Amino acid sequence: MTQPSYVHGASAKPLIGETIGRFFDAACARYAEREALVVRHQNVRLTYAALKQKVDALAASFIRLGLAPGERIGIWSQNNLEWALTQFATAKAGLVLVNINPAYRRSELEYALNKVGCRALVLSPAFKSSNYLEMLADLAPELAHCEPGRLRSHKLPSLEMVIRLGAERTAGMLNFDDLLASPTREEFFALEARGDTLQFDDPINIQFTSGTTGNPKGATLSHHNILNNGYFVGEAIRLAEGDRLCIPVPLYHCFGMVMGNLGCLTHGATMIYPSEAFEPLAALQTLAEEKCTAMYGVPTMFIAALDHPRFAEFDISTLRTGIMAGSPCPIEVMKRVIDKMNMREVTIAYGMTETSPVSFQSGTDDPIERRVSTVGRVQPHCEVKIVDADGRIVPRGTPGELCTRGYSVMLGYWDDAARTAEAIDRAGWMHTGDLATIDEEGYCNIVGRIKDMVIRGGENIYPREIEEFLYRHPKVLDVQVVGVPDRKYGEELCAWVIVREGETLSADELRAFCQGQIAHYKIPRYIEFVDSFPMTVTGKIQKFHIRDAMKRRLGLDEAQTA
């Protein structure tokens, strides 16, 4: 056999063997006077010392509320100061932070809170077209009549405490700002004592990933998982004390909270949030006015910034590095980012939520050809193998399933031993479901997906979840959802629908059925009504035929990607 498709990230740099809380305290002492966090849309600027003061106050308040180590606390909010404070405070208090997608609607929120048994929820009053207070009140009308922190809800039985952001007050809810009062001496000592009991292998974060069987899975991550991944991702882009990182990506994703926040914490860099959600003009203004040295984003974000009519007005010459990830990176976009945005050391990263997230990353000094055609080499302290359908390692250059093992692999899917066992085998390998090759020099190229996951603008969408929701419509007999190419988002959803006999159904009617129930990005852009689906002789639906037919009908071409 030629050289096998197995690589491991041998490194002289050791893993961090501490909890996030202990590391946070040491970092805040080391970089006390450096700027830690800038939140442009809230006019917030905090040094590391000031950040620690607020985080300690919030963590002490969580303990005072009676939240015990290992209990789950959700956060449903756009990017803001409160998100960052909650991330670090929950880690210090030993609570498991549950990231809830800001695009979620009622049924998704209900599922997430109940699946992991959230005892508390931090929420923004509203964001864009989403009225979070209204949606929560629909699910838990008992809030209107309960004492704050004493909720007893029929639909949300585990939820007791709702902590709302903003100056206004809502019946049955605690106010976030009230929890930032300075802790007493006794409360501070209690926080210190709590920290002494925590271990770095404890679960600290749950992030939901769409499931092929319909319901999202709660990937459960530890201190060790995400603190180290944030550190080594930062190392790969040569992040250093004094660097200023623009973080327009959402904090509820690993991209924001791990690669962004923890990457900065582990290097004494500054976290900078340009806006509540990505806005190209706000990002450009932030890059220029804050003299940012690095920027993270999915390809669509870089495209929007480069194509903005005012792009040329901004001096972004301080930019040096960053990461483009989240979906396949168009080669021409990568070249424009290097040339027009001065990001000569920009890298590409590959991973998944279940691996904290990054497994492969290109180097800042890799040749441009490598940086635009591969996802780089394996991360330090990680192992990767490429296997065939029988689980045997294939030769270099041969496509197969990418499997990874090491510190970054999640603890498992929350309360789902069966699906955890499907994903992580007895030897500890995480089976990603992605098809990849590894070349003679160890560079990885993602060549496809074993299953039919759709990646729309950095959001992973499993068609089965959308199909199961659309099946609820009384006029829908059968439905199949596929991804079709899209120049802006990489892929868009297309649904082929068979209507029940004697019924009539329009695309607008079906989309209206989705509004307010599933996230906007999960609503199919294209809806076609058909009489049948292409099938094999054994009755298996051939989704690739659906995809090919839609490409021909719509005149779509595959985008050239790295």
Q: Which two tokens stand for residue 213?
A: 């069987």
- Of the pLDDT bands very low, low, confident and very high (cuts 50, 70, 90), residue 333 is confident
Residues near 424 by beta carbon (within 8 Å), at least 6 away in sequence: 409, 410, 412, 430, 431
| Exposure string over 36-69, b if 16+ CB within 10 A, otherwise e | bbbbbbeeeebbbebbbbbbbbbbbbbbebebee
pLDDT digits (tens, 9 = 90+) for 266-277: 999 999 999 999
Q: Is residue 70 in a domain?
A: yes
In SS3 terms, 155-206 reads as CCCCCCEEEECCCCCCCCCEEHHHHHCCCCHHHHHHHHHHHHHCCCCCEEEE
Q: For position 525, what pLDDT does the model report?
A: 96
Q: Is 512's pLDDT higher than 90?
A: yes
pLDDT digits (tens, 9 = 90+) for 401-460: 999 999 999 999 999 999 999 999 999 999 999 889 999 999 998 876 677 778 899 887
pLDDT digits (tens, 9 = 90+) for 354-379: 999 999 999 999 988 888 889 999 99
Q: Is residue 524 in a domain?
A: yes
Domain boundary among 179, 199, 219: 199
Q: Average pLDDT, stretch 75-87? A: 98
Q: Strand, helix or coil at 383?
A: strand
How far is the C-alpha of 369 from the C-alpha of 6, rounded, in Å? Answer: 22
Q: Is residue 180 in a domain?
A: yes
Q: How many residues does the chain have?
A: 562
CATH of the domain at 512: 3.30.300.30
* Helix, strand, coil share of the chain (percent; to 5): 35, 25, 40
Answer yes or no: are the C-beta atoms of 293 and 321 closer than 8 Å: yes
Q: Average pLDDT, stretch 303-325? A: 95
pLDDT digits (tens, 9 = 90+) for 202-261: 999 999 986 544 688 999 999 999 999 999 999 999 999 999 999 999 999 999 999 999
Q: Is residue 2 in a domain?
A: no
Please provide the average confidence, as pLDDT, over all residues in the chain.
93
Q: Is residue 428 in a domain?
A: no
Q: Average pLDDT, stretch 510-538? A: 89
Phi-psi region of 94 (alpha: psi -120 to 50; beta: other; left: phi over 0): left
- Of the pLDDT bands very low, low, confident and very high (cuts 50, 70, 90), residue 501 is confident
Helices in 31-167 by DSSP H: which ranges?
A: 48-64, 81-93, 106-116, 132-139
- Of the pLDDT bands very low, low, confident and very high (cuts 50, 70, 90), residue 543 is confident
The number of domains in the chain is 2
Give the C-alpha distances (Å, rounded to integers) separating 238 from 245, 263, 312, 374.
12, 11, 27, 19
Q: For position 461, what pLDDT does the model report?
A: 82
Q: For position 562, what pLDDT does the model report?
A: 41
Q: Is residue 275 in a domain?
A: no
Q: Is residue 322 in a domain?
A: no
Q: Is residue 257 in a domain?
A: no
Q: For position 213, what pLDDT does the model report?
A: 45
Q: Is 328's pLDDT higher than 80?
A: no
- Of the pLDDT bands very low, low, confident and very high (cuts 50, 70, 90), residue 508 is very high
- Of the pLDDT bands very low, low, confident and very high (cuts 50, 70, 90), residue 380 is very high
CATH of the domain at 144: 3.40.50.980
pLDDT digits (tens, 9 = 90+) for 41-80: 999 999 999 999 999 999 999 999 999 999 999 999 999 9
Domain boundary among 180, 199, 218: 199
Domain containing 537 equals 456-554
pLDDT digits (tens, 9 = 90+) for 338-359: 999 999 999 999 999 999 999 9
Burial of 277 (0-12, 13-18, 19+ CB in 10 A): middle
pLDDT digits (tens, 9 = 90+) for 284-306: 999 999 999 999 998 889 988 99
pLDDT digits (tens, 9 = 90+) for 113-131: 999 999 999 999 999 989 9
Domain boundary among 137, 169, 199: 199
Q: Is 262's pLDDT higher than 90?
A: yes
How far is the C-alpha of 449 from the C-alpha of 307, rounded, in Å? Answer: 30
